[in-house]
Amino acid sequence: MSSLKEFTKGIIKENPTLVMLLGTCPTLAMTTQAINGLGMGIATTFVLLGSCVVISLLKRLIPDQVRLPAYIVIIAGFVTLVSFLLQVYVPDLYSTLGVFLSLITVNCIILGRAEAFASKNSVGRSALDALGMGVGFTLALVLMGSIREILGFGTWFGVDLTFGVLEPIGLFSMPAGGFMVFGFLVAVVNRLSHYQISKKKMGCENCPGRAGCGGHCGTVSKTEGEGK
C-alpha cells in the first residue's frame, strides 16, 4: 500500500467513527456544536499521532505480556499532556470538553490503531495511519457537529443562520438527535464506501477492518495455538 493510501484510508474507506464505529461515546457527546467536534477531533488526532509514533518506536522493546498496560500508559501520558496544554492556552475549550478530554485515554480508536497498526508497522507508516485516522475522526465530528448545530441551534460555528425567522429544532442538540444524525451519517458513508462490496458476498476480504487485523480476526486463537 502506498503511503498516500495509508493516509487517505482513514478518511472515508476505514473512517474510524462512521465505518468502524469506534469512539462512539465522544462522537455523540461532543458534537452538539461544530466547534466542540473540531476541538475534540484535534485533541484526539494529537494523542493518536503522538502515541502511535512512540508505540511504533518502542514496538521491539515492549514485551508482549505487558503491551496493553504499556500502550495505555503512553496514551494516558499524551492525554494528560494535551489537557495541560488546553487548560493553559485554550481554557474555554478545556471546560467544554470536560470529562471527555480525559476519556480520550480509553477511546478505542487510539488503542485500536496502536494494537492493530502501530505495533506492527514502521514509524512513518504508523504516523501516516494515525494522521489519516485522526483527520477522518475530526471530519466526522465536525460534519456531525455542523448538522446538529445548524438544526439544533440555528448557528454554524457560532454564526447565526436563522436571522430570527426560523425556530431551531432543539431535539438535535440533545442525545436523541445525536443518535439520529449518527445513524443517518453511518448509512450515507456505508453507501459511499462499500456500495460495490455489498453486491458481492460479504466476507473477510471485504471487511473494512481487514487492513487492521490482516485477515486473522477469526483465527487469532488458532494461530496462537500453532505458535506454541
Partner 1 sequence: MRKSWDLIRPTFVLVIICLVISAALALTYNLAGVADLANAGYSAEQLAEFSASALPEADELQKVDVSVEDEDFHSVYKAANGAGMAIVVVTKGYNSDGMTVMYGFNPDGVMQGIYVIAQEETPGIGDKVTTDTEYLSRFAGQSADSFQVDTVAGATKTSTGLINGAKRAFELFEQLKGEVLG
Side-chain half-sphere of 79: how many Cα atoms within 13 Å? 21
Our finding on whether 179 is near partner 1 (CB under 8 A) is no
- CA dist 115 and 64 (Å) reads 11
180 binds partner 1 (CB under 8 A): no
Q: What three-state secondary structure class fits 184?
A: helix
Nearer of residues 62 and 211 to partner 1, judged by Cβ: 62
Map the footprint of partner 1 across residues 100-139, applying CB under 8 A: none
The reply on whether position 62 binds partner 1 by CB under 8 A is yes
Sequence-separated (6 or more) residues with CB below 8 Å from residue 15:
136, 137, 139, 140, 189, 193
61 binds partner 1 (CB under 8 A): yes
Grid cell listed for 92: 474555554
SS3 for 159?
strand
Closest alpha carbon to 130 in 145, 155, 111, 102: 111
One-letter amino acid at 25 equals: C
Among 10, 23, 152, 212, binds partner 1 (CB under 8 A): 152
Report the residue number, 76 or 123, with the smaller CB distance to partner 1: 76
Distance of closest approach, residue 93 Cβ to partner 1, in angstroms? 14
Place of cell 503512553: 74
**Distance, CA of 40 to CA of 201 (rounded, Å):** 37
Q: Using CB under 8 A, which residues numbered 76 to 95 contact partner 1?
A: 76-77, 80-81, 84-85, 87-88, 91
* Cα–Cα distance list, 15 to 82, 113, 162, 185, 207 (Å): 23, 12, 32, 12, 13
Contacting range for partner 1; rule: CB under 8 A; set: 20-28, 73-81, 115-123, 134-142: 73-81
Q: Is 59 in the site for partner 1 (CB under 8 A)?
A: no
Q: Looking at 12-20, 114-122, 168-176, 214-222, which segment touches partner 1 (CB under 8 A)?
A: 168-176
Residues 17-36, interacting with partner 1 (CB under 8 A): 32
Rounded to the nearest whole angstrom, what is the least distance from the CB of residue 177 to partner 1 in the complex?
Answer: 10
List of residues contacting partner 1 (CB under 8 A): 32, 58, 61-63, 65-66, 69-70, 73-74, 76-77, 80-81, 84-85, 87-88, 91, 152-153, 168, 170, 173-174
